[in-house]
Structure 1
Amino acid sequence: MDWLFDVVIVRPPGESYKNCVSTNPERLSIDVNLAKKQHREYVKILKENWIEVIELEPLERYPDSVFVQDTAVVGVKSNLAILSRFGEPSRRGEEESIGKVLRKEGFEIKRIEEPGTLEGGDVLVTDVGIVFVGLSQRTNIEGIKQLVNFFLKLKVVSVPISKIFHLLSGVSYLGSKTIAISPQVVDVSYFGGFKLIQIPEDELYANNMLYLGEKRVLLPEGYPKTEEKLRREGFKPITVNVSEFWKGDGGVTCLNLPFYNVL
């Protein structure tokens, strides 16, 4: 099986989600009820694809807390959960409630400490012993160094990005040493040895996609060129409407925290 994970944590959006940190010009039109409905559909798709879902309560104090991926990096093999230190100061504290859940699940808890920052959306995990980490507005070199020290057996490659918030907005791992990438926002030279599928420039948002194993890929609906390209490469695209999370600068990967079997 080529499943990177088969258990995830999700947290539905609260009423406060409309106040999330976002640069999207449509941010003010976020419809929270629609966001809740879209989140339920997203969870249903995960369950239909044999992913075990741990569902938490909304965290009203933190408007961005639906984007649970950013809170930690979780490894099943190592039994380690590394709690993030957010580069976005308004989100600091979100990781505490996740830490409690992960402790209950039996993980040993470690933390990214000041002055390090690291957000899960910058961490691209593969099943070939390599983890790529975006050096971004949200994740700094000190945070990456600390991550390296927690996972000494892995090769950690730092990838500078400036045109997107998080690495996973421009690169996705699809198993079998295959990567979907948007060359206009991420330098392809860091990914030597991988098969690269270039996502059409006008469908950049589709690159925030989630590999569910066995060639199944969850991506936002409304990106027909990307769907077609994935089909031609032998993948099975599954689409979900995440319009309200797009408005909040989030996407398909951001909405779950995977327990990586390969870390």
Structure 2
Amino acid sequence: MEYTCHSEYHELDLVLINSVANAFVDEQKLKNQWKALNYLSKPDFQKGEAEFNVFEKLLQSKGASILRQPQDAAVSIDAIYTRDAAIVTNFGVVLCRMGKERRIPEPKVQEVVYKKNNVSILGQILAPGTLEGGDVAWLDESTLAVGHSYRTNEDGIKQLKNLLAPFSIKVLVVELPHYKGPSDVFHLMSVFSPVDKDLAVVYSPLLPIHFRKELLKRGMELLEVPEEEFNSMGCNVLAIGPRHCLMVAGNDKTEALLRNVGCEVHTYVGEEISVKGGGGPTCLTRPIRRRL
């Protein structure tokens, strides 16, 4: 069987997640951290566990193998959002350097998991560079879109380009808007979720014009998330296979748009693990390998 790391939509084969038990730990840790980390309100631990159990079963529905991030006292409750700490390539993992200071320990914790499971490391982003996985998405086998945001800076992008230069990978820089400012969790994948080679879910009011035109030039059909479903994670859609989607429940209009173009859609209640922390299914997962 052939695999690739350079895809956001092929069948999910191997993925890293971090359970509520390991990330949130208990009610006391949630109580101590949620305000400082800019959550909308304190997640409920037991409800969060129930939500995550459903989410994990949906991930496995296409036969994906699961790697689990271990509990580590150095990381915050944000460590549930595993995508951000690393970028995967066919040449090895790039360990990020987080733009949110409280999240800086996370890549080291993930590095242990990758080495234990024989996933090679290509390199890492070093200070003063910052780079977060939520700002990075493959457009095709040789093109990587990278959002220049408050979480991902110019130096981090330059380091990533240097790491990928020997492999003829084009890095397409996407200049993201200010939106709510440095304290908000706003990544490229907050407004762009590829679900097939020629299909993506987008929120155009915050999608840079140059990037939107590039997607259309590539022949992508863009499903426009309505304004009322943006804050409820309507634009954060994870493909576990081509047009086989996983999304937060309650975004009925976006779900209907996906179904109308032939997508199979699964939903999970994500009030505690997604909405309150601003991290949908793409954030909750670090896909490592997909089946071609």
TM-score under structure 2 normalisation?
A: 0.82
Residue matched to 2:288: 259
State the AA in 2 paired with 1:105. N
Q: Are 1:186 and 2:193 counterparts?
A: no
Residue matched to 1:126: 139
Residue matched to 2:55: 42
State the shift of 1:128 in Å. 4.3
1:43 counterpart SS class = helix
State the shift of 1:127 in Å. 3.0
**Residue ranges of structure 1 left out of the alignment (5+ in a row):** none
State the AA in 1 paired with 2:174. V
CA contact (8 A) 2:12 2:62 kept: no
Runs of 4+ in 1 over 4 A off after TM superposition: none
CA contact (8 A) 2:195 2:242 kept: no
Equivalent positions of 1:244-255 (< 5 A) are: 244-245=272-273, 246-255=275-284
State the shift of 1:97 in Å. 1.3
Residue matched to 2:44: 31
1:27-84 deviations in whole A, cap 9, x for unaligned? 23x1012112211111111011221111233334422111111110122x22x11111
Q: Are 1:3 and 2:10 counterparts?
A: yes
Return the alpha-carbon distance in structure 1 between the equivalents of residues 49 and 10 of structure 2. Answer: 27
Determine which of 56, 62, 65 is the counterpart of 2:79: 65
C-alpha distance 129-175 of structure 1, shift in aligned 2 (>3 A): farther
1:211-259 deviations in whole A, cap 9, x for unaligned? 1113201010001100110111111111111111210121111111111
CA contact (8 A) 1:131 1:157 kept: yes
Equivalent positions of 1:11-22 (< 5 A) are: 11-13=18-20, 14-15=25-26, 16-18=29-31, 19-20=33-34, 22=37
2:140 counterpart SS class = coil
Residue matched to 2:125: 112
Determine which of 149, 168, 175 is the counterpart of 2:162: 149
C-alpha distance 17-42 of structure 1, shift in aligned 2 (>3 A): farther
Return the alpha-carbon distance in structure 2 between the equivalents of residues 34 and 160 of structure 1. Answer: 37
Residue matched to 1:203: 229
Return the alpha-carbon distance in structure 2 between the equivalents of residues 223 and 154 of structure 1. Answer: 35
Over the matched positions of the two proteins, sequence identity in percent amounts to 28
1:152-187 deviations in whole A, cap 9, x for unaligned? 322211112222611111111112232211011112
C-alpha distance 17-59 of structure 1, shift in aligned 2 (>3 A): farther
Q: Are 1:175 and 2:196 counterparts?
A: yes
2:171 counterpart SS class = strand
1:125 counterpart SS class = strand
State the AA in 2 paired with 1:66. I
Residue matched to 1:235: 263
State the AA in 2 paired with 1:250. G
State the AA in 2 paired with 1:116. G
2:223 counterpart SS class = strand
C-alpha distance 5-49 of structure 1, shift in aligned 2 (>3 A): closer
Return the alpha-carbon distance in structure 2 between the equivalents of residues 17 and 148 of structure 1. Answer: 37
Residue matched to 2:173: 158
